[in-house]
């Protein structure tokens, strides 16, 4: 198992090209199961979760041709598609549940393992199952699998999600594309990645329109041959903006629409970062002294992203004053706090609130990753620590950040990937 060795403190400077969005690629790849015609997906990130989804599609019978750099996938479902998704493929990735909707919509049956992924909270799939049931899917849970089927085509319906859910919104939109009649989804998640999914489906002939948190889908008979380029990863972009802020950096983020991380960029300005946006580029300079922010609350988009919570906590550790973060999305997303304390952070937890004392002088230490976003917060903290830090179990990082050590090296971070043992 690989680990990172980081020698701090580092001051970063240079340019960063943001990879394709993992959280956009996964539902788009799942949606290709709806197609009889060939589909080409471009700008895929080279991360473990994408490898897992492609392996899952192959196991279901999709023919996939990858470009040499693995950023372009040509997918054709000309073979008979299987409808069984095994535990061995599904156990490592939450996003694998997204094949349920298209399999039921297109093939009217599925046996799929209950999914795995990061241990950041319960994240029940009942919203997915309840929504698909209202479209005509019947299911039972048996031996860790969802056994689902429908009597022919799904039927359009009006449904309201009891709680905003990204995955359930995606699964329901994908499934409704081939349903009879019209589906109205209310209280939807509206993350940019969901809009990217619907842009892809509409390009292929789907009939999807948005009005605030309401999504209307008019079912079609089939989808057309299409090519689509996945949007850049806003969490990766936000992470590098945080890196510039904590490491007194001078960074240029290339080819990126800053509007989709406007909330986070406004926070970074309050911390003291100087930010300019021009021609799809973000120019960001980190402050010599970080100003405190008393309270940050994570919220569904367009609020502060839960996927940026652990990164923002590093800034608050370094800020000249006390602050707090309230985590409103997942109930178990402070697992990085124990590791940050090993570096010298003074953080107390009370239920879903973390109180950060500020003015931390990080000292290098040996650390353990617990989940994808927590892992990158440890990298950020190690970058600004005095001395050497070792971060173990970095396979979590490989699930969602493409070659992060190479990108960090290019902007001045002293980081090495090492094999354990």
| Cβ–Cβ < 8 Å for 400, 19 | no
Q: Is 10 a catalytic residue?
A: no
Tell me which residue has tokens 């209950």.
114
Q: What burial letters (b/e) apply to 90-109, b meaning 16+ CB within 10 Å?
A: bebbbbbbbbbbbbbbbbbe
Evaluated on CA atoms 293, 400, 378, 290, the torsion sign reads negative
| Cβ–Cβ < 8 Å for 177, 105 | yes
Residues facing 250 on adjacent strands: 13, 285
Beta strand pairing call for 137-142 and 145-150: antiparallel
Spatial CA neighbour of 329 closest among 298, 301, 302? 298
| Cβ–Cβ < 8 Å for 244, 215 | no
Which residue out of 10, 118, 241, 317 is catalytically annotated? 118
- The answer to whether the peptide bond before residue 288 is cis (omega within 30 degrees of 0) is no
| Cβ–Cβ < 8 Å for 145, 114 | yes
Residues with Cβ within 8 Å of residue 355, at least 6 apart in sequence: 322, 323, 324, 347, 348, 349
Retrieve residue 75's tokens: 């997918």
Determine the distance from the C-alpha atom of residue 260 to the mean position of all C-alpha atoms in its chain, rounded to a whole number.
14
Q: What burial letters (b/e) apply to 45-58, b meaning 16+ CB within 10 Å?
A: bebbbbbbbbebbe
The 3-state DSSP composition of the chain as helix, strand, coil percent (nearest 5) reads 35, 30, 35
Residues marked active site are found at 118
């Amino acid at each position: 198992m690989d680990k990172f060795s980081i020698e701090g403190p580092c001051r970063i400077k240079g340019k960063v090209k943001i990879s394709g969005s993992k959280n956009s690629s996964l539902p788009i790849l799942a949606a290709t199961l709806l197609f009889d015609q060939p589909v080409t997906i471009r700008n895929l990130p080279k991360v473990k979760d994408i490898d897992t989804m492609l392996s899952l599609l192959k196991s279901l019978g999709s023919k996939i041709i990858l470009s040499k750099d693995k950023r372009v996938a040509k997918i054709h479902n000309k073979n008979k598609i299987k409808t069984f998704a095994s535990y061995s493929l599904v156990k490592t990735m939450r996003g694998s549940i997204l094949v349920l909707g298209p399999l039921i919509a297109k093939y009217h049956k599925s046996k799929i393992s209950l999914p795995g992924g990061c241990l950041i909270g319960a994240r029940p799939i009942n919203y997915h199952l309840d929504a698909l049931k209202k479209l005509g899917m019947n299911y039972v849970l048996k031996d860790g699998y969802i056994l689902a089927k429908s009597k022919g085509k799904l039927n359009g319906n009006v449904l309201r999600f009891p709680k905003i859910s990204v995955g359930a919104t995606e699964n329901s939109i994908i499934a409704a594309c081939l349903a009879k009649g019209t589906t109205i989804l209310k209280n939807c998640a509206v993350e940019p990645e969901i809009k990217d999914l619907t842009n892809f489906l509409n390009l292929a002939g789907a009939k999807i329109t948005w009005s605030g948190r309401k999504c209307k889908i008019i079912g079609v008979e089939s989808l057309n041959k299409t090519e689509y380029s996945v949007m850049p990863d806003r969490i990766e972009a936000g992470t590098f903006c945080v890196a510039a802020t904590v490491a007194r950096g001078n960074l240029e983020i290339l080819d990126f629409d800053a509007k989709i991380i406007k909330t986070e960029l406004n926070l970074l300005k309050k911390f003291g970062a100087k930010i300019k946006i021009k021609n799809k580029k973000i120019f960001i300079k980190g402050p010599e002294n970080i100003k405190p922010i008393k309270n940050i609350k994570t919220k569904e988009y367009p609020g502060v992203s839960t996927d940026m919570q652990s990164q923002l906590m590093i800034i608050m550790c370094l800020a000249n004053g006390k602050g707090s973060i309230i985590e409103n999305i997942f109930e178990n997303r402070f697992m990085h706090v124990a590791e940050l304390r090993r570096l010298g952070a003074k953080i107390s937890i009370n239920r879903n609130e973390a109180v950060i004392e500020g003015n931390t002088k990080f000292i290098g230490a040996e650390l353990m990753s617990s989940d994808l976003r927590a892992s990158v917060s440890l990298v950020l903290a190690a970058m600004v620590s005095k001395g050497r830090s070792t971060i173990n179990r970095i396979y979590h990082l490989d699930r969602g950040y493409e070659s992060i050590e190479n990108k960090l090296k290019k902007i001045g971070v002293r980081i090495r990937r090492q094999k354990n043992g």
